[in-house]
Amino acid sequence: MTTFMPSASCTVFFGEPLSALLESVSLYLHVPFCHTRCYYCDFNTYAGLLPLREPYVQALLTEITLAGEWARPANGGRRRARTIYFGGGTPSLLSVEQIQRLLDACSAAFAVDAEAEISLEANPGTLSGPYLQALRTLGVNRLSLGAQSFDPHLLRLLGRTHSPDDIVQAVRAARAAGFLSLNLDLMFGLPEQTMAQWRETLLRALELEPDHLSLYSLIVEEGTPFFTWVQEGRLVPADDDLCAEMYEYADALLQEAGYANYEISNWARPGHECRHNLTYWLNLPYLGLGAGAYSCFGGRRFSNVREPRHYIRLLASRQRPEAESEALSLEMQMAETAILALRTARGLHLPSFRERFGLDFWQFAGQRLQRVSEAGLLECDGCWLRLSKRGRLLGNEVFLCLLPDEDEQKSWEEEG
């Protein structure tokens, strides 16, 4: 790949030079345990495997150490880590002591920033005040609660095991423990969900004054009970128009309440954008550790074996648990960087693109974007390219134009 280095590196992301961000990583630690499986969920997570928690944590500790070794930068020191994210599954099913050992291993293997964002996903109903206080003491500074809905009937329909009141208690306990950055996940477009129920859920959520909200439209995933019930006609999925209306209603309400829609599904108060998730949308390097976790690092995308027992066995003999790997052509990296950035409100920063790939964005994509540009799906103010209001509704049209077809990809690889 041609390396083009301008005299000064762009500093529009986190106020840091792009060159420094490209040398750092974000760490994702996957915790594949849940008390029960929600009826809609197809994440790599398992009910009934709680006895595996300790052997799994030990395997994860080994993988963190191995990753720190092979991801060392050229100078031989430890690779810098800017964020750590405990995701799941239900990471709050780990003990404080297990989380402490995992964080200690990250700090031994990587140069973790003193002010790193350290997030943990948690289910309401699994948290106590002392547990949350202990997490804060360990340096966990962002909590993401899977609230989903404030309607008790919908919570049951989803297979959630918590009540609306558990959400309120969890938020209060998190604030009392000193969490200054708190996210609530909510789902919409649920079977049987009315606009009035969605409005009520949003208002109840806003009463709790979270710093961040992630709103996900239900995807009926193959292999889940929801999928079977829809096939059997026992469950009627929400209507697309109603989903769009719910999204637009939420956006207006949240913007009015001071939350900016900084990515399609995410809203934050100023300064509370999730830095870890921004890593993905800026297509910066990340390492996913744990069963089934995905990484993007060194021009490759790769993933671990999914099954926790298999993962534990491999790590017990210090083998890397990688299952699949794909080398990303330069063209693919350019296309993905543009697509991910166009999902964000700020859009794609053209000077950063040029710095990163040594190629002007329009040289790469001008021709292929001509049709959607003429159709008014894009707007550009010189430095930033973003989707127009109409473009946000038809984002996929733009993204498809950016993806290379196989012939093009071959010719780029030959030239590269």
Binding site for ligand SAM (CB under 6 A): 40-41, 43, 87-90, 121, 123, 146, 148, 185, 187, 216, 218-219, 221
Looking at the Cβ atoms of 55 and 159, the one nearer to ligand SF4 is 159
HSE, side-chain direction, 13 A CA sphere, residue 328:
19
d(CA 37, CA 60): 22
Among the listed residues 224, 218, 208, 215, the one whose alpha carbon sits nearest the alpha carbon of residue 186: 215
Distance of closest approach, residue 40 Cβ to ligand SF4, in angstroms: 7
37 binds, among ligand SAM, ligand SF4, none (CB under 5 to 8 A by kind): ligand SF4
Looking at the Cβ atoms of 173 and 218, the one nearer to ligand SF4 is 218
Looking at the Cβ atoms of 90 and 283, the one nearer to ligand SAM is 90
Stretch that binds ligand SF4, among 21-29, 32-40, 289-297, 324-332 (CB under 6 A): 32-40
Distance of closest approach, residue 35 Cβ to ligand SAM, in angstroms: 10
Among the listed residues 413, 415, 414, 331, the one whose alpha carbon sits nearest the alpha carbon of residue 365: 331
d(CA 108, CA 112): 9
Asked if 292 is part of the footprint of ligand SF4 (rule: CB under 6 A), the reply reads no
Residue number closest to ligand SAM, CB atom = 146
Beta strands in 286-401 (DSSP E): 286-289, 294-297, 300-304, 322-327, 348-349, 378-380, 384-387
Distance of closest approach, residue 121 Cβ to ligand SF4, in angstroms: 8
Asked if 146 is part of the footprint of ligand SF4 (rule: CB under 6 A), the reply reads yes
CB-CB contact of 213 with 184 (8 Å): yes
Looking at the Cβ atoms of 148 and 261, the one nearer to ligand SAM is 148
Looking at the Cβ atoms of 134 and 219, the one nearer to ligand SAM is 219
The single residue among 24, 45, 266, 373 that binds ligand SF4, judged by CB under 6 A, is 45
The type of residue at 350 is: L
311 burial (CB, 10 Å; 0-12 / 13-18 / 19+) is buried
d(CA 55, CA 95): 13
Looking at the Cβ atoms of 70 and 216, the one nearer to ligand SF4 is 216
Angle at 118 between CA 133 and CA 265, to 5 degrees: 110
Distance of closest approach, residue 56 Cβ to ligand SAM, in angstroms: 16
Asked if 337 is part of the footprint of ligand SF4 (rule: CB under 6 A), the reply reads no
Looking at the Cβ atoms of 123 and 283, the one nearer to ligand SF4 is 123
Structure tokens at 224: 């889940």
Asked if 41 is part of the footprint of ligand SF4 (rule: CB under 6 A), the reply reads yes
Looking at the Cβ atoms of 37 and 309, the one nearer to ligand SF4 is 37
The single residue among 88, 288, 290, 292 that binds ligand SF4, judged by CB under 6 A, is 88
Quickly list H helices, 110-151.
Answer: 129-138
Looking at the Cβ atoms of 9 and 228, the one nearer to ligand SAM is 228
Looking at the Cβ atoms of 213 and 330, the one nearer to ligand SF4 is 213
Asked if 290 is part of the footprint of ligand SF4 (rule: CB under 6 A), the reply reads no
373 binds, among ligand SAM, ligand SF4, none (CB under 5 to 8 A by kind): none
Q: Residue 91 has what DSSP assignment?
A: G
Collect all residues with Cβ–Cβ distance below 8 Å to 139 and sequence separation of at least 6: 103, 116, 118
Stretch that binds ligand SF4, among 85-93, 134-142, 195-203, 268-276 (CB under 6 A): 85-93
Beta strands in 6-75 (DSSP E): 25-31, 33-34, 46-47
Distance of closest approach, residue 43 Cβ to ligand SAM, in angstroms: 5
Distance of closest approach, residue 263 Cβ to ligand SAM, in angstroms: 14
Report how far apart, in Å, the C-alpha atoms of 270 and of each of 142, 262, 263 are: 15, 10, 13
Report how far apart, in Å, the C-alpha atoms of 16 and of each of 19, 23, 56, 137, 338 are: 8, 12, 35, 27, 20
Distance of closest approach, residue 365 Cβ to ligand SF4, in angstroms: 36
Stretch that binds ligand SF4, among 40-48, 277-285, 345-353, 373-381 (CB under 6 A): 40-48
Q: Residue 240 has what DSSP assignment?
A: H
Site residues, ligand SF4 (CB under 6 A): 34, 37-38, 41, 43, 45, 88-90, 123, 146
